[in-house]
Structure 1
Amino acid sequence: MKFKIKILTTSLLVASSLMLTNCSLDIKNPNGPTDAQILTSRDGLITLSVGLRQNYSTLGISSLILTPGTTTREIKGITTFTNIIEIEAGGTALPTFNGNVLGIWSRMYRVIGMADDIIASAPTALASDAAMKSGVVAHANLFKAMALGGLATSFEKMPLQTDKLGQAVYSDRTEALKLAVKLLDEAVAMVSATAPSAEFRTKVTGADFDLINSIQAYRARYNMMLGNFDAAIAAATAVDLSKKSSFVYSSQSQNPIYTATQISKDYAPRENFGLPTTLVESDDKRLTFYLSTPNVVVGGETLKKLVGFFDAVDRAIPVYLPDEMRLIRAEANLRKATPDINAALADINAVRTQASGDAFGVNAGLGAYSGGQTKDALLVEVYKQRCAELFMTGMRLEDSRRFGRPAPPTSLVERTRNFYPYPDQERLTNPNTPADPSI
């Protein structure tokens, strides 16, 4: 993999305009500071840290939600753009030159490259300010981990580091998740040893982004994906479920999912979260939280209007949802060598019966679980609750595989791919690129 970061534009341009495009990363500003000046400057690293999060929350989230969301039938591609038509069709015919697949790949490695620069430079540039350094490095660790997790959700193998010579070695997705957990563990240790300063919170994260709880939430998520059940339970329990952590938007830096569904109108959500009717309860309040009318029938399918976190240009998107932590605990307790049915059932019912009080207003308002109380039956219930609670978060492709849902090529009902092929651009520049998955 060959990857070159233009530090100048990914830091100063992002922070000043709060907008990013692929093309902007290739623009040189002869009147601005050099890469070296930014990476050795206290203010430069602070600005780059803001740009890192802004890059992930716009371009990164757009790819991680929309492309896997189409593959798992949460949303339908309704445009004439070829790349979206190809993702919508999925299957074995998905070409290696698809632009949406390239988008996940290139945008996640852009985040990794920016994070790597911060992690490498902060110990020197911020040597005299331990409280700022702690926050900046932990923040970069978090976003590198999130990017690795995003890649691991979509691809079977990937390089763990960028390589400007285009010779990056590939590792299994499990190794990417292990590295993500290692980065998050290091982040916890940093902020525990030296609490980030008030200046860090003011200048980097702002009031809406909760660094500590976000780190713990992603530790829980990736440990669950790895099968580290006790670690997943511990991290999920460490998250304060009353707190919110959000990516914020404005008229200048717009909510990318709103833009794709309401402005460009490239996608629209399917009814019932795109799920078989056996996995949906008609009185689930999350149906009306996320989906609204008017209904439109396209290709024989009923499509809805997307609301929830995606109904305005300046609507904030959660970094994670609190009830994901309950569902992680429930799943981990069920998958342990000795399942804890009672603990799992308690967390499932806490999600099901919550009629109010969720930090983000995502309340199911259902009755208590009344089905079979076996491990297998409760795992189906956890999956069902995850599909409703975590609608349009980019998690369903990973969940669908982990829970052993009907899979292609035998069935295209719940997902149309298992993993994506490697982008042509990567294969042309890196001889280490492995064979594509069949589907």
Structure 2
Amino acid sequence: MNVYIKNGLLIGLNLMLVTACNDRLTVQPTQSIDVTQALSNEQDVRITLTGAYDGLSDGNLYGGGFQYIGELLGDNRDVVFGGTFTALDELWRKTITTTNTDVRDTWLDSYNVINRTNNVLANLEKVSEDNRTSYEGQARFIRGAMYFELIKLFGKSYNDGTPASNPGVPLVLTPTGAVGDVDNRVRNSVAEVYAQVIDDLTKAEQLLATSPTGTFATALVGNSGVATKGAAQAMLARVYLQQQNFAAARDAANRVITSGTYTLASDVAGAFSDVSPESIFKIVVTDQDGITGTNALNTYFASTRNSGRGDIRVQTKFRQLFGAGDVRGQFFTTVNNNVFTSKFNDLFGDVVVIRLAEMYLVRAEANLRLNTSVGATPLADINAIRTRAGATQFTAVTVADVLLERRLELAFEGQQIADLKRTGTAVGTTPYNANNLVLPIPQREIDTNKQLAQNPGYIN
């Protein structure tokens, strides 16, 4: 962490007074809170937590950035990037520079959100007993999710070398206020970052309810834009799978599935609607004025006919992976001979971060690798996904089948590079552990914090 981050984190500079509106996470800025007066009571803590959700919805984070970075970095000509933005083109071509603006803003915005959660966690004594547990759980979920995304992008994969010695990202667990040399942090190891992620998400699971609770969430019940027990469980399933801790991944996914809180949508299109029954956690997007989530997936993946830029074009090579009758193989939009995914056609559609279908895929893979059938057999789980898609049912299933099913079902949702790295699969001719598949520490971070070591393969 450095001066650039810290300037953005100062609560007096960037914390806005926001209020929840109706049943959506719609927030309206009314004034800045002076740093000397901030967080003096429960309302201030609630404002800060709402600000953390607002930051989380940014277009460089779960508003689309984490997802399109994961897809472009892991792409092997399944798509073509035809846009004019150099930052995204560098990601797609794997020729990323240390001054890439998307990389810079993803780092900065993530630490901004982390600082807001740190302020919440440091001031829980000012929150009523009725709300304290919920506030802590939500803050821990957000902080754990942010560090998980950061370590996947800026550190080596957990199965690449030695996590205990591989450099990860700086762990900042207390609020950043006045700027000083003490805030120039070294990079914690990959193992240390994962341990913190698991600690935060495990505590979040314990603290959070099945549905949003407390005055903060009163207007948001029924809306998966707020962290819940299921969201923490689902994120843990992702984390454990990335570590290849298959038993823990299986059990976390199974807790989500067997909770009965979520059900698979009846059709493929329904999985991406704002009222999808399988949405576990999402970024709420509205067309109202004020601070709302950003749907950057619509911006880059959708055709111009559907309010997008038409930058990311799906190639025949990928579409041919779907079997006859598989509805997912027709879930595309064609404009001027270019093909685009139809997952993000709604400009104001909510951005789904985690959905139930992924939990079936996690449980199936983990059970298969462990030769177990906790919750259901791998075959039953995979066929549940394929039945919804109208695809031919399997009579037997292998790990390769499950991994291909993940690619087909979760395409363009941000899991591509993470899946390739954890399975040791090359991106075309580029080895999974190549230097250019790890993002560089942004140059401005290096310039202002000499304790930060750059990732291999990048010249400062």
TM-score between the two structures when normalised by the length of structure 1: 0.80
- Identity among equivalent positions (%) equals 23
Aligned to 2:115: 113
Determine the C-alpha separation between the residues in 2 that align with 1:16 and 1:410.
46
Partner of 1:389: 409
Quick check: which one's helix share is greater?
Answer: 1
| 1:295 to partner: Cα distance | 5.3
1:247 aligns with 2:261: no
Partner of 2:162: none
The AA in structure 1 aligned to 2:325 is: D
Query: Which of the residues 223, 227, 250 maps onto 1:233?
Result: 250
Q: CA deviation at 1:430?
A: 2.0
Distance 2:195 2:92 in 1: 31
d(CA) in 2 for partners of 1:114 and 1:345? 43
Offset at residue 140 of structure 1 (A) = 0.8
**1:160 equivalenced with 2:171 (yes/no):** yes
Aligned counterparts of 2:140 and 2:413: Cα–Cα separation in 1: 21
Give the counterpart of 1:81 among 59, 67, 85. Answer: 85
Q: Secondary structure at the match of 1:94?
A: coil
Cα distance, 1:49 vs structure 2? 1.6
1:360 is matched with none
Cα distance in 2 for partners of 1:119, 1:76 equals 43
CA distance in 2 between counterparts of 1:328 and 1:226 reads 13
Secondary structure of 2:118's match?
Answer: helix
Determine which of 314, 329, 333 is the counterpart of 2:348.
Answer: 314
**Count of residue pairs the alignment pairs up:** 398
- 1:200 and 2:216 correspond: yes
Partner AA of 1:323 in structure 2: A
**Deviation, structure 1 residue 305:** 2.6
Paired residue secondary structure (1:35): coil
**C-alpha distance in 1 between matches for 2:54 and 2:213:** 21
Distance in 1 separating the partners of 2:381 and 2:221: 30
Instruction: Give the deviation of 1:54 after TM superposition.
Output: 2.1
Q: Deviations over 1:41-62 (max 9, x none)?
A: 2112212222211221233123
Is 2:447 the counterpart of 1:425? no
The aligned runs of 1:93-172 (5 Å cut-off) are 93-122=95-124, 124-126=125-127, 129-156=128-155, 157-161=168-172, 164=179, 165=181, 166-172=183-189
Partner Cα distance (1:36, 1:266) in 2: 46
Taking the aligned partners of 2:51 and 2:88, their CA distance within structure 1 comes to 28
Gaps of 5+ in 1: 297-302, 356-363
Deviations 1:388-434 (A, max 9, x none): 2222221111001112222465479xx99421122111111222323
Cα RMSD (Å): 3.2
SS in 2 for 1:170: coil
Q: 1:33 maps to what in 2?
A: 33
2:314 to 270, 292, 298: 270
* Alpha-carbon offset, residue 332 of structure 1: 1.4
Deviations 1:275-322 (A, max 9, x none): 484x43353222334x222254xxxxxx423322x2122211223110
User: For the structure 1 residues 224 and 304, does the alpha-carbon distance in structure 2 shift closer, same or farther, using more than 3 Å as the test?
Assistant: same
Give the aligned residue type for 1:149: F
TM-score normalized with structure 2 length: 0.77
Inter-partner Cα distance in structure 2 for 1:436 and 1:425:
14
Equivalent pair of 1:71/1:397 in contact (CA under 8 Å)? yes
Q: Distance in 2 between matches of 1:204 and 1:437?
A: 44
Encode CA deviations 1:79-109: one digit per residue, 9 max, x unaligned: 223222322221xx42111112212212221
User: In 1, Cα distance between the equivalents of 2:20 and 2:10?
Assistant: 16
Residues in 1 aligned to 2:411 and 2:130: alpha-carbon distance in whole angstroms: 36
Which runs of structure 2 are paired with 1:357-372 in the superposition (5 Å)?
364-370=389-395
Structure 1 residues 295 and 237, CA gap change in structure 2 (3 angstroms): farther
Could you tell me how far apart the structure 1 residues matched to 2:386 and 2:41 are? 49
The superposition leaves residues 327-367 of structure 1 with CA deviations (integer Å, 9 ceiling, x where unpaired) of 1111212333x5669822222222222x2xxxxxxxx2212
Which stretch has the larger CA shift, 424-433 or 323-332?
A: 424-433
Q: Which residue of 1 aligns with 2:11?
A: 7
In the alignment, is the contact (CA less than 8 A) between 1:408 and 1:417 conserved in 2?
Answer: no
* 1:332 alignment partner in structure 2: 366
Tell me the distance in 2 between the aligned counterparts of 1:179 and 1:94.
28
Residue 15 of structure 1 and its aligned partner are, at CA, apart by 4.9
**Whole-angstrom distance in 1 between the partners of 2:105 and 2:324:** 35
How far apart are the structure 2 equivalents of 1:9 and 1:287? 47
Quick one: which amino acid aligns to residue 439 of structure 2? Answer: Y
Please tell me whether the aligned partners of residues 234 and 359 of structure 2 are also in contact (alpha carbons under 8 angstroms). yes
Contact 2:322 2:328 in 1 (8 A): no
Deviation at 1:271, TM superposition (A): 3.2
One-letter code aligned to 1:177: Y
Distance 1:392 1:40 in 2: 43
Displacement after TM superposition at 1:326 (Å): 1.0
Aligned mates of 1:143, 1:284 — CA distance in 2: 35
Q: Which residue of 1 aligns with 2:385?
A: 351
Kept after mapping to 2: 8 A contact 1:87/1:100 = no
SS in 2 for 1:187: helix
Q: Which residue of structure 1 aligns with residue 267 of structure 2?
A: none
Query: What is the distance in 2 between the residues matched to 1:411 and 1:222?
Result: 22
The 1-side partners of 2:445 and 2:191 are apart by: 20
Paired AA for residue 46 in structure 2: I
Mapped contact 2:436–2:457 kept (Cα < 8 A): no
User: For the structure 1 residues 46 and 220, does the alpha-carbon distance in structure 2 shift closer, same or farther, using more than 3 Å as the test?
Assistant: same
SS of 1:428's equivalent? helix
CA contact (8 A) 1:15 1:51 kept: no
Partner of 1:358: none
Counterparts of 1:8 and 1:206, CA distance in 2: 33
2:146 aligned partner, one-letter code = A
1:63 and 1:103 in contact (8 A); partners too = no
SS class of match (2:111): helix
User: How far off its partner does 1:195 sit?
Assistant: 9.0
Indicate if the aligned counterparts of 1:159 and 1:171 stay in contact, CA closer than 8 A: yes
Distance (whole Å) between structure 1 residues aligned to residue 57 and residue 225 of structure 2: 11
| Aligned partner of residue 354 in structure 2, secondary structure | coil
3-state SS, counterpart of residue 305 of structure 1? strand
Contact 1:209 1:247 in 2 (8 A): yes
> Could you tell me how far apart the structure 1 residues matched to 2:19 and 2:116 are?
14
